[in-house]
């Protein structure tokens, strides 16, 4: 049932973008994002093992529907680990996201706010005394964010 809901949301999102894309001159872009994943959920910190900060990477493609509005599709990977009481735990997640951005161009910069939906494909491995246990699950969720894009070709360094 969750997969049907996710497919419906994603399809609706894409169908709604088609008229907007054809009505405006769009500018496509591709971006690579590298950062860290810091678990903040009580499930990953206070009530159980203390999972650490891990690597986070994403590749996304998007398009400007107008100078103040963009849509983006991304796929990434992040990982966190913990070693406690003889157990080595490794959690890896592949997020697949659809994001809408509201931008405010200022010279060569674009501050933005974003909101979107995502499907998160999770795999957890537990190793203890040479035995390995695995579990997988799929989770759907939403995300919000703030950011700043820069366009060096649009910045006037002469002043």
Q: Which domains does the chain have, with CATH numbers?
A: 2-37+62-149 (2.40.160)
| Segment 134-150, tens digit of pLDDT | 888 999 999 888 888 88
Sheet of 109-128: strand order equals: 27-37, 54-66, 69-84, 87-103, 109-128, 131-150
In sequence order, what are the beta bridge partners of 46?
none
- At 2 the pLDDT is 53
| Segment 93-133, tens digit of pLDDT | 899 999 999 999 988 889 999 999 999 999 988 888 778 88
What pTM did the predictor assign?
0.67
**Cβ(124)–Cβ(90) under 8 Å?**
yes
**Cβ(107)–Cβ(148) under 8 Å?**
no
d(CA 128, CA 139): 26
In Å, how far from its chain's centre is CA 7?
Answer: 17
Burial 73-83 (b: 16+ CB within 10 A, else e): bbbbebebebe
Nearest Cα neighbor of 62 from 24, 93, 101 is 101
């Amino acid at each position: 049932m969750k997969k049907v809901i996710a497919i419906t949301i994603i399809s609706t999102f894409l169908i709604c973008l088609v008229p907007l894309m054809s009505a405006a001159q769009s500018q496509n872009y591709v971006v690579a994002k590298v950062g860290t994943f810091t678990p903040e959920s009580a499930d990953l910190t206070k009530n159980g093992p203390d999972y650490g900060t891990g690597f986070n990477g994403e590749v996304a493609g998007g398009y400007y529907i107008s100078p103040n509005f963009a849509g983006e599709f991304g796929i990434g990977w992040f990982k966190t680990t913990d070693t406690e009481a003889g157990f080595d735990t490794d959690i890896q997640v592949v997020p697949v996201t659809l994001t809408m951005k509201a931008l405010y161009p200022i010279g060569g910069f674009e501050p933005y706010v974003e909101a979107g939906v995502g499907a998160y494909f999770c795999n957890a491995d537990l190793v203890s005394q040479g035995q390995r246990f695995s579990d997988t699950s799929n989770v759907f969720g939403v995300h919000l964010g703030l950011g700043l894009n820069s366009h060096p070709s649009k910045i006037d360094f002469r002043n």
